[in-house]
Structure 1
Amino acid sequence: MGVDSTAILLLWIHEPQSRDFDLGDLVVLTAMTGDEWPETARMVSNCVLPLLREHRVRYVQVARAGPRQADGIQILDDSRSPRRLFVEAATRSAPRCSPRGRRRNAAVHANVRRKPRGGRWNRPSPVSPAARTGMSWGSS
């Protein structure tokens, strides 16, 4: 479950005026890739799954059934009272590729810190997706 997706889900759960549908009509789908960080899985299990259970939101977890596209997709769980993430059941996806076909790992690129020449270590400042794109979530 990605950061942005989780943030929107939590907004919809905690602020009903932010959505124009009933939570009973919502289906949350997560494609388990086999690359989930243990800390992320722990936080989703401890914080998000209880909210999904409490509000009876349908949560579907899927994964590749094998290493080839022809192997298809398997449904790991489909529930309105999810108890756990099925991170270990996912078949690890092939290495991610950029549009030009070069291998990349999004998690590695997202967590890289660079040291400027002659400078000290700097961490990238956290910027919300809305600020990056210039979008506003407020009413217009």
Structure 2
Amino acid sequence: MRDLLRRGALLVAVVGLAAGCGSTNEDTADGLASDFTKAAVDSGVAPEMTPELAKSLYGDDGGAVCAALDDQPDDVALPWAWTRTHRMPSEHVEDLVEYDRVVVEVYCPDKEATFNALLDDLNYDPD
């Protein structure tokens, strides 16, 4: 009887561990990739986006877009945005900004204020 209880407890522990391992960053990356794909396609900024592509570009943390907004936006994000918006043909800037906005909204919504402040610093006005 004791051996049966021990095996049962071991089985419960293994099943619990397997269930816990199933909800990893992989699941988070898949969910975010699906959310991003839907938002990007719905907004029209990336009509050909797929969850696989989104996952490869942004993983579970938003990749370089969110990283640029993380620590020192004055030192890191401003040159990043300046390079991306001021050296491109003007007809593409609005699309780029809206694309990056979708990335921020999905992958690092806590950085939206930083993103908007960065656009203000660049005197970005899409109208």
Q: Common fold, TM-score beyond 0.5?
A: no
Computing the radius of gyration over CA atoms, which structure comes out larger, 1 or 2? 2
- Which band: TM-score by shorter chain? under 0.3
In terms of fraction of residues, the more strand-rich structure is 1
Higher helix share: 2
Higher RCO (C-alpha 8 Å, min separation 6)? 2
